[in-house]
A and B are shown apart, each in its own frame.
Chain A
């Protein structure tokens, strides 16, 4: 439980952070809340030569309203996200999902940006990023670029971030009126990661479902957008006896869920269908407390 030795840097501006990271070599890693990276170090599953701690870099932390979208700074903690009135008002799905992350101790350390950069398909936020079409803002010596969530998660713990790139913030588009949200997390203990999670957004009018967004947690080596469900749900009647159950039957389409101690793939596929139905029902009933 003791990491191998590494160099440690703590820059205070983004320019400095970019420089330090570029100079620290290929094996350097950005350190944010440390709640995913440090366990890997302590179990000696990762051996970075240097850590660049972005925790005190000015301007990376906090939530702001940018008109058509909300900008969440990369080092904003889970707890700050959950408490943010801006998040709660304009992107409640983010607040709902973040509130299910582990426990208060983890939520006070872990960061929004770290959760996405880590690209863990079992994390609760990547599926939400997909469902909401978030855009990730990145800085490197080469300048700035913006990566849509749909192109960000490449493989298990692998993102589109190139060595030397620092995630600075995430744009969360505002969806506008008529939407309801729900994050349905199935896990074995309160502090455990999701066996399967479903992020759902439903827009309806006059009892008819007009548009649906569904992101799935832990159903493959990346988070998955359940496009088959989204198509099948369009136009169906909302409510318990409408067409949402049939639409949810498509939830496991195209997924390749992992096998681990908590679940085998066929069980995860079954859960995805059941939970997607429940998530769609809850979202369309506007049950989410934050809306």
Chain B
């Protein structure tokens, strides 16, 4: 009955319908290529971690703490051991001597409190969902059943869930050392002078609610050993970082540990982690000498995949009477949850240099305190720090406009960095290399029909239409292309930000690219092939991209922070340059010319002024044969490059959102959404478009739908998708997208990165629109997510409407 999907057939179908693949001139870069990886990804005929079956493989299920804060007083696993199919049962005590502590690679201050973080709790649990025991069984059903037979007694301790309460005197302590992990300050200019007698001062507090990353593929791990070497398959974004970290955590020497990220179905930062389950799977395999698999359920994932956002932002802005910004001061509380994970404390720092947005000002002051609470730890989630910063400044710009009575777009124009001022060093000390806010904005306004919508808005206001119209603006920038290693070092991060690529030319002229980036939905196989096709003049189809396996790709810093193209793509370009240089030597030798007289274009080496030429494929074969090479020439065209960027890249854009708010029910509906992004030069417009669409959807989700909710005992209430609402296509409008292209000057491709732009831009655009609709009712903020009930209640309290 069910039709079998054949990857080959699907690939053929994609190709046949592929008008988009029609050549658009000579260049591959810039073509809207359909993704070569999609046939296998969409049919599922590929190696997802959970698809892997190994002989004798056992299955692991974890028992998780039902208590937010408690001492473990008794553990009895004896009954579980006797259950059908059970091979072993372990509790934290069994691993206490060898499990180490889950790593935090970003101690942001010298005195950052980094508590011990045992992968499996031994004496104390600090959040609901923390692993306390596990069953290893012959199948996953037996493992799940036996969990119920494990007995654990807890002595409850008082939990603390709210950051402000956690910092108050006498609060229950999550850790002995107290609930403050660190306080980090950064300043530029004279903030007191900026606020002194400022004609306008706006002060607002915004809540970045806690979010749960929901990658399509749940996390999964398969660990195996031959007794000496270990192999870990994991649905991870960071096979390379993971290998180093696991070696340090488990004591398995790095050269005896291979980490493989097979095809990975999304991450959004949630798989930029060294997880308890990864460490424990390795330890169990080491104990039992058998391969083991663990795959989380969606509810387990909601509990224990690291969460995102969760900040309390106090932002103050001082301005002149005409709206020119004098200074911005930010005081942030960032909820770490119960422990620091891989980059937990660094997430707010990634936003620390962004609360100034695209605007000029005299002074800036930023302070962030990291706070422990009895909840799942937070960490990077699409945008990591930058969506939070962008939200605060873009919301406050609207407040400033309302305060001095000008159009919110006008207030932005008065303050933003002019195109003629680039490169521009901001008050935070970052140098924005390029940008054209005027061009992106003008394009967006035209596509949106701004003036017409404003006219409709006043009409509805006049008529007192129960459905009001609001217009929201977000003129954002972000820093991505993480990251110059020196800058990371100055921020106390534990590693660098370079990326690596190997380019191998095979005897038949086909090309293998080994990349240190680790795609999990971004389409690197396609985009890297386009780059190589252009650079080496080989057909797009002749390029294969290998990634995600530390045995084939030994060196890399993986994929996050919109870094893959702007850093990893440049490493590919550099490696191709080296290949071409070698091939030129061989070509010159074979054609008996001086290398200086040999030109290269479209895959062919030509001796200037003659008709003589050799293709790169001919050179490849000649190099393979090695019969006739220049003296001393090493018989290979292969080359590697490791690229460390000198600067971040700074995509920007203008997003405009029109929202209809039903003042009777509080329901909001996005009527139109326009995004004009400038991500520099574009390698593949189709991929860029996809990233922008998904990003906008995810940002709208924060504005309107998603929130992780804990009750007062610390139980997570949003453990299923009936409670944690993800919007689907049916809940989203059509997006109108366009681009301006202002090339980055910091890299040879002129690219900036696009993975996070949509998410960063869209959240404030939507909330600004809702507030704009309701401003005549006295509303100047609605807490996210702006659910119908929240909008309704805000209207009743602020708008003075009868109950």
Contact = CB atoms under 8 A, between A and B. Distances in A.
Nearest to A273: B664
B141 A192 contact: no
Nearest to A44: B148
A1 B297 contact: yes
B144 A188 contact: no
Contact of A192 (B145, B718, B725, B792): B725
Contacts of A190: 728, 730-731
A186 B669 CA distance: 13
Contacts of B248: none
B665 A2 contact: no
Interface stretch (A48-56, A138-146, A150-158, A264-272): A264-272
Contacts of B300: 1
Interface in B397-413: none
B665 A186 contact: yes
Interface string B655-667: 0000000001101
A261 B731 CA distance: 19
B615 interface: no
Nearest to A2: B144
A193 interface: yes
Given A1-B297, A274-B665, A189 B793 contact: no
Contact of B665 (A4, A5, A271): A271
Nearest to B298: A1
B723 A261 contact: yes
Interface string A270-291: 1100110000000000000000
B789 interface: yes
A264 B664 CA distance: 16
B725 A188 contact: yes
B727 interface: yes
A189 B709 contact: no
Interface string B701-736: 000010001000000011010110111101100000
Contacts of A43: 299, 720
A270 B792 contact: yes
B592 to A, nearest CB: 68
Interface in B658-681: 664-665, 667
B789 A264 contact: yes
Contacts of A191: 728, 730
B71 interface: no
A263 B725 CA distance: 14
Contact of A193 (B148, B299, B722): B722
B725 A267 contact: no
B667 A186 contact: yes
A262 interface: yes
A272 B792 CA distance: 14
Given A190-B730, A274-B665, A267 B789 contact: yes
Interface in B764-793: 787-789, 792-793
B140 interface: yes
A192 B789 contact: no
Contacts of A39: 720
- Main SS of the interface on chain B? loop
Contact of A263 (B140, B728, B731, B789): B789
A5 B145 CA distance: 8
A271 to B, nearest CB: 6
Interface in B126-172: 140-141, 144-145, 148
A267 B728 contact: no
A207 B718 CA distance: 48
Instruction: Output the residue of A2, A43, A103 with the most chain B CB within 10 A.
Output: A2
Interface in A1-31: 1-2, 4-5
A189 B145 contact: no
Interface string B259-295: 0000000000000000000000000000000000000
Contacts of B725: 188-189, 192
Nearest to A1: B297
Contacts of A261: 709, 717-718, 723
Nearest to B667: A186
Nearest to B726: A189
Contacts of B730: 103, 189-191
Given A2-B144, A190-B731, A274 B664 contact: yes
Given A2-B141, A2-B144, A261-B709, A189 B665 contact: no
Contacts of B144: 2
Interface string A244-262: 0000000000000000011
Contacts of A267: 789, 792-793
Given A1-B297, A186-B667, A262-B787, A192 B793 contact: no
A264 B803 CA distance: 14
Contacts of B297: 1-2
A1 B299 CA distance: 8
A122 to B, nearest CB: 10
A2 B726 CA distance: 23
A151 B624 CA distance: 85
Nearest to B730: A190
B629 to A, nearest CB: 60
Nearest to A277: B664
Interface string A163-199: 0000000000000000000000010111111010000
Nearest to B731: A189
A189 B788 CA distance: 11
A190 B298 CA distance: 20
Contacts of A264: 789
A4 to B, nearest CB: 7
Contacts of B705: 188-189
B633 to A, nearest CB: 60
Contacts of A2: 140-141, 144-145, 297
Nearest to B796: A270
Contacts of A270: 792
B791 to A, nearest CB: 11
B789 to A, nearest CB: 5
B799 to A, nearest CB: 14
A103 B789 CA distance: 24
Contacts of B717: 261
B299 A192 contact: no
Nearest to A267: B789
A189 B726 CA distance: 8
Nearest to B466: A274
Contacts of B792: 267, 270
A42 B789 CA distance: 30
B298 A188 contact: no
A150 to B, nearest CB: 29
Contact of B145 (A4, A193, A271): A4
Instruction: Output the residue of B145, B665, B727 with the most chain A CB within 10 A.
Output: B665
A283 to B, nearest CB: 18
B240 to A, nearest CB: 31
B728 A189 contact: yes
Given A2-B144, A274-B665, A262 B728 contact: no
Contacts of B298: 1
A36 B636 CA distance: 63
A188 B720 contact: no
A240 B501 CA distance: 69
Given A1-B297, A43-B299, 14 more contacts: A43-B720, A186-B667, A186-B788, A189-B730, A189-B731, A190-B728, A191-B728, A191-B730, A192-B722, A193-B722, A262-B787, A264-B789, A267-B792, A274-B664
23 contacts: A2-B144, A2-B297, A5-B141, A5-B145, A43-B299, A103-B730, A186-B665, A186-B667, A186-B788, A188-B725, A188-B787, A188-B788, A189-B727, A189-B728, A189-B731, A190-B730, A191-B728, A191-B730, A261-B709, A261-B717, A261-B723, A274-B664, A275-B665
In the A-B complex, list the 8 residue pairs whose CB atoms are closest, starting with the nearest: A1-B297, A190-B730, A2-B144, A189-B731, A267-B789, A274-B664, A263-B789, A189-B725
